[in-house]
């Protein structure tokens, strides 16, 4: 019995070569739909993660006067590391700032003549965990303390971060997750109908097997395996395409003051993605067989 099951499973995979053009077109359609859905899911995941990451946080950018003595500036940087509520501190000397600017503009050696005499100021990017009940008063106090530091020319922060961080949790629960569930439903329906239509051409094959007395499970199992395999293969190809997009765009917005990095889907979401597509391949094949 086990040998028969293994034989039917292998047959379900190898049956794809009997109708290559139909299967290739079906695979292409499944991969395209899965890729588009996965791309949307990737954007939603990164948006949700980035805003959750910044929940309860606020960033200050501190600019020292051009030409400020770096020994004194670096001493102030060490003092800043001891501030209450500070979660992260990124500092840039004028030369480091020039390197970041050159890399973000993709200018190559266009600014090479400025090396050693960078006109940019020393800069610090500070991320604080928001504390206190009155967030705006707390942020204003931090702002004034930073502004009074010696040789500091400018301090900037975005007050909207406070309101955004506070409201994002409600928005995520009410909009993002329902949208992801709706996306999964649409993906399942489109992939299911695509594979179902691809199985219709096997109507004569099913009728012949029935005439010779083959059991229903003997007829259905290879087709169910074919549907699952097409879904799994299409989903895998879609994830590989998504990985290529993520690798090519991951550092597109990774520059000050945004510092946004595009991350790939976590393993659990990728596995759920594949399971939905493979499961719909099985369900759609089963529905197609019941209608014959």
204 and 113 within one domain: no
Round to whole Å and give the CA distance between 214 and 48.
52
176 and 35 within one domain: yes
Domain that holds residue 113: 57-164
Q: What is the pLDDT of residue 189?
A: 72
142-148 contact pairs (CB < 8 A, 24+) = 142/60, 143/60, 146/60, 146/62
Percent of the chain with pLDDT over 90: 9
**Where a domain ends, among 113, 139, 164?**
164
278 and 138 within one domain: no
Query: Average pLDDT in the 168-191 region?
Result: 68
Helices assigned H by DSSP within the chain: 2-14, 20-53, 70-80, 94-105, 135-147, 160-171, 177-200, 203-211, 216-249, 267-290
Q: Which residues contact 55 (CB under 8 A, 6 or more apart)?
A: 165, 168, 169
145 and 247 within one domain: no
Q: What is the pLDDT of residue 239?
A: 93
Element (H, E) at 60: strand 57-64
**Where a domain ends, among 139, 164, 189?**
164
180 and 45 within one domain: yes
Bigger pLDDT: 215 vs 283: 283
Give which of 217, 206, 223 is closest to 23, Cα–Cα.
Answer: 223
Round to whole Å and give the CA distance between 186 and 188.
5
253 and 205 within one domain: yes
124 and 88 within one domain: yes
Round to whole Å and give the CA distance between 268 and 111.
45
CATH number at residue 158: 3.30.70.3040
Round to whole Å and give the CA distance between 80 and 73.
10
Round to whole Å and give the CA distance between 283 and 291.
13
280 and 173 within one domain: yes
Q: What is the pLDDT of residue 76?
A: 92
- Highest mean pLDDT of the ranges 53-67, 74-88, 162-176, 250-264: 74-88
Q: What single-letter DSSP state applies at residue 149?
A: S
Cα end-to-end span (Å), the chain: 26
pLDDT tens figures, 46-104: 877 766 665 567 789 999 988 888 889 999 999 998 888 888 899 998 888 777 777 76
Domain count, the chain: 2
**Where a domain ends, among 115, 146, 164?**
164
Bigger pLDDT: 134 vs 231: 231
Q: Which residue has the tokens 């005439």?
A: 211
- Alpha carbon separation from 249 to 34, 108, 219, 258, 259 (Å, rounded): 19, 19, 46, 14, 13
Q: What is the pLDDT of residue 236?
A: 93
175 and 76 within one domain: no
126 and 262 within one domain: no
Q: Which residues contact 150 (CB under 8 A, 6 or more apart)?
A: 72, 76
Query: Average pLDDT in the 260-278 region?
Result: 85
Bigger pLDDT: 203 vs 124: 124
- Highest mean pLDDT of the ranges 18-32, 107-121, 157-171: 18-32
237 and 206 within one domain: yes
* Neighbouring-strand partners of residue 59: 127
195 and 277 within one domain: yes
Residue 256: which pLDDT band, with cuts at 50, 70 and 90?
A: low
pLDDT at 12 over 60: no
pLDDT tens figures, 105-142: 665 566 666 666 778 889 999 888 776 666 677 788 88
């Amino acid at each position: 019995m086990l040998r028969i099951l293994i034989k039917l499973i292998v047959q379900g995979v190898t049956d794809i070569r009997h109708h290559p053009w139909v299967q290739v077109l079906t695979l292409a359609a499944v991969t395209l739909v899965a890729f588009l859905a996965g791309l949307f899911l990737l954007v939603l995941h990164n948006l949700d993660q980035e805003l959750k990451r910044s929940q309860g946080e606020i960033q200050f950018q501190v600019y020292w006067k051009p030409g400020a003595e770096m020994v004194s500036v670096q001493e102030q940087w060490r003092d800043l590391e001891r501030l209450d509520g500070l979660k992260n501190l990124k500092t840039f000397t004028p030369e480091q700032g020039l390197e970041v600017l050159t890399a973000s503009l993709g200018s190559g050696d266009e600014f090479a003549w400025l090396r050693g005499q960078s006109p940019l100021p020393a800069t610090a990017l500070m991320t604080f965990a928001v504390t206190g009940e009155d967030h705006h008063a707390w942020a204003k106090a931090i702002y004034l303390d930073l502004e009074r530091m010696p040789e500091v020319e400018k301090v900037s922060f975005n007050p909207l971060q406070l309101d955004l961080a506070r409201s994002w949790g409600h928005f995520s629960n009410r909009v993002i997750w329902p949208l992801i569930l709706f996306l999964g439903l649409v993906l399942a329906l489109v992939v299911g109908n695509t594979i179902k239509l691809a199985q219709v051409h096997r109507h004569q094959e099913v009728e012949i097997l029935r005439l010779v007395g083959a059991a229903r499970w003997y007829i259905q199992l290879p087709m169910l395996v074919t549907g699952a395999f097409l879904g799994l293969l299409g989903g895998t190809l879609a994830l590989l395409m998504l990985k290529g997009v993520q690798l090519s765009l991951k550092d597109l917005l990774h520059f000050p003051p945004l510092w946004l990095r595009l991350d790939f889907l976590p393993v659990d979401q990728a596995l759920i993605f594949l399971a939905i597509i493979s499961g719909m391949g099985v369900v759609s094949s089963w529905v197609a067989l019941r209608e014959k």
